[in-house]
Every structure is written in structure tokens, then in C-alpha cells.
Chains A and B, each alone.
Chain A
Amino acid sequence: MEALDKIAGFIGYAIVNGEDGSVQSIRGSSTAPIGELTAFFSSAGEVIVKSLAMGDIGYISLSYGSKRLVVFPHGPKYVGIEVERDRNPRDVLKSVEASISTTRQVEVKLAHSIRSKIYQINLLVDEFGGRDQKQHWCELLSQGLGILGGDVVPYVGVVNDKLAIKEEVPHGREEDFVQALRSIIDFLVKKAVAEMGSSQARQRVQAVIAKMK
């Protein structure tokens, strides 16, 4: 299901074993407990469709705050995908079907300021993570996106260990995006100071600055 990482508008997703309800993986930058929500509601959904003779589950959609979780069966598993609340759940399912049946690459045009910030974030993750800790820093990046990204989150995601823009940024919103990405840079640097000390963190930030010149 790695194809889901690349779909525009998907904030995060969870995969749950349909047999025992165990959460197999959670990806993306959602701050909601999407693993638990997917597990509990897929199980509750099975009980409900049976008692009300509704037929096999097509999907379950849960709305909370500004978000929506669309849960659907996929073979022996359940997948729960978090999107913005105003997304239609049936469109979410269509996006999944389309992404599984195509490997089309989407070319996204970006303002220089946004491209530069994304480049800087990826360099920071490379520099802080090195060869051994890359996964850990990708996870921190996803967490940072979740708590600080705000409206940017549906448009970006960590794809193949790199921060990538999945969809064109709406016109006039470039500055909001740059601000959000700047706060994620601050977050990563703060984490680096906490984990490796200020002198080591400063050295690595300077290495990134040198690469950006």
C-alpha cells in the first residue's frame, strides 16, 4: 500500500489486520489515533452490518473536528485513511483504486521559496540522520508535520524517505506554506539540539547551509 504515500490530500493512513484487529502500520502525519480508530470501528462496523443486514462493508466514514477517516476492507485487512473533513469518502476510495492501478508520476510546479524550504528540510534529515538514523529522522519529520504543518499537511508527505509535495499549492497560499515549512525546520533543529547537543547540531546545520549555497 506504499502507493498511498503519494496520494494528494491523504494526511495519514493505518493498516489493521481484519482477523485480530492488530495495527500493522501507521504512516503519515496524522495526530489522531488513526490506528485505534480503524481497529475499533472496523470491528464495530462488522457487528453493525451483520445485525442490520446491510451486506458487506463498502466503507465506514468517521468525521471528527476538521478531519475525516475513511475505513474500508482491503483483502484480509482494513485500511483507514485520514483526509480533510470536506473530502467525499467515495472520492477517497476512487483515489485509492486509481493509485493502485496506475504508476503515473505527477509533475508539481512549485514556487522557488517552497522548493528551497523542502530542499533544506531533506538536507537536514539526511545530515541529522546519517546512514543509521535516517528512519528515526523521517519519523520525527512526520511528527513535526502533524503538529506544526496545519493546512500544509494534505499537500505534503514523506515519500521514499524524502519530504515531497504531492499536489500543487493553491495560488496565494505560498507564504503560509513557507511559514509552516519554516516552523518544521525549527522543530528539526530543536530536536537535533536535544538529541546530539548544541555544538554537534550547529555543525550539521552549517553543513546543510554550505550545501545550499
Chain B
Amino acid sequence: MESILNRYAEKGLSSCFVISRTGDIAIARDAEGKKEQLTQMALVVFETISAIGEIKVDKIEIVGESRGLIMQLGEESLLGSLFENGEGVVIEELWTLLEDIKKRPAASVGERKPELLEAATLEKMKLIMADYLGDFTERIYNNQLKTHGISSTVEELSPKDIRRLIATLTKAASMIIGPTKSRDMRNKLLELLR
């Protein structure tokens, strides 16, 4: 992994790193001196993400006066770059390079492939929702899929993504049918995951 990160450092992506939730780290040569601070930073990010369960943040960009940080988050690890901020820095170009690394099979440390759900689960969810939300179903369902970045034509689904989707569908439904009925709907939706 380090050799890939070093190669991208030569392409202009400075101080690249991959850090897992458990603290495993792969780091480019030019970032060796910041290893400890980057590991601490990752810990802060993972803790913050865990505190906000219902939203899946997948990209973070922090821009300070003198340096910037871009990070792409997976379920178990984050891939990022710390760069000097100044005239001529084009952050979009740095993101392109980072996304290029992400596509490589070795671009993670400690990442486990979760068991996936079949796509038909989404259709089953919609049928359950229709019993509770009637004419509002289609619009709420489509809006929440979009909010979570889930394509309706996806072939497999991560159970974590579906749990997040169910949480926000329940919240939206609660505004229309009230908390008791929406809790009932949520329980039926969660049964699909068992």
C-alpha cells in the first residue's frame, strides 16, 4: 500500500494515508513525520462519525489557512491527503487523485466485506410502506433513497445502509402518520433484515 501512496505523492497528492478504525496505518514517505497526529485525527473522525449514526458521511474536506485535508471514508477505514494550502492549489484535482487510489483493490486497511442483501429488499420495503403511507409512499421512498445515495437499480445492498435508510424513513413517516404507527412500520421493515 505504501508504494501506491508514494507513487501518488509524486503525482502531486501530498502526505497520503490510509488509517483503519482499529488504528492500522499505511502512510506515504512524505507524511512519516505526522504519523502520530494523523492517527489521532482519524480517531477523532471515527468517534465523531459514530456519534452521528443515521448519516453516512463519505467525504470530508477541512480547509485551514495554511493546510487542507481531504478524506474519503469507508466503513472501516479512511483514505486521505494532507496538503499545503496556497495559491494554485486546485482541491478538485486532489480529489480526483484520491478517488483514483480508492479504486485500487489494495486501497484499504482492515476493511471487511459485509454480507449483502438482495436488491428485492427495497421493493419489499416499499410494499410495507404503502400500507402506512398510501399516496405519499413513492415520493418519500424516492427522496430518502436519493438522500442516502442509494440507486433503485442497485443489485446488492449493505445492511448498514438499509438500517440508516429505515431510520430516516421512520422519521419522515412519523411526520405524516405519527410516532406510534411509524414505529410499527419500522419494526416491520427491520424484520426484512432478519
Taking a contact as CB atoms under 8 Å apart, the answer to whether A52 and B148 are in contact is no
Asked if A48 is at the interface of the complex by the 8 Å CB criterion, the answer is yes
Contacts A143-B175, A147-B172 known; A32 to B55 CB distance under 8 Å? yes
Interface window among B64-72, B115-123, B184-192: B64-72
Q: Which residues from A are CB-within-8-Å of B37?
A: 51-52
Q: Which residue from chain B places its CB closest to the CB of A153 in the assembled complex? A: B143
A120 to B55, CA, bound (A): 34
Asked if A199 is at the interface of the complex by the 8 Å CB criterion, the answer is no
Q: Which residue from chain B places its CB closest to the CB of A62 in the assembled complex? A: B57
Taking a contact as CB atoms under 8 Å apart, the answer to whether B172 and A31 are in contact is yes
Asked if A77 is at the interface of the complex by the 8 Å CB criterion, the answer is no
Taking a contact as CB atoms under 8 Å apart, the answer to whether A63 and B41 are in contact is no
Q: Which residues from B are CB-within-8-Å of A48?
A: 41, 44-45, 62, 69
Number of interface residues of B (CB under 8 A): 47
Taking a contact as CB atoms under 8 Å apart, the answer to whether A32 and B147 are in contact is yes
CB distance from A74 to the nearest CB of B (A): 16
Residue among A54, A148, A150, A187 with the most chain B CB within 10 A? A54
CB distance from B95 to the nearest CB of A (A): 10
Q: Which residue from chain A places its CB closest to the CB of B65 in the assembled complex? A: A55
Asked if B127 is at the interface of the complex by the 8 Å CB criterion, the answer is no
- Chain B interface (Cβ < 8 Å from any Cβ of A): 34, 37-38, 40-41, 44-45, 47-48, 51-52, 54-69, 82, 85, 135-136, 139-140, 142-144, 146-150, 168, 171-172, 175-176, 178
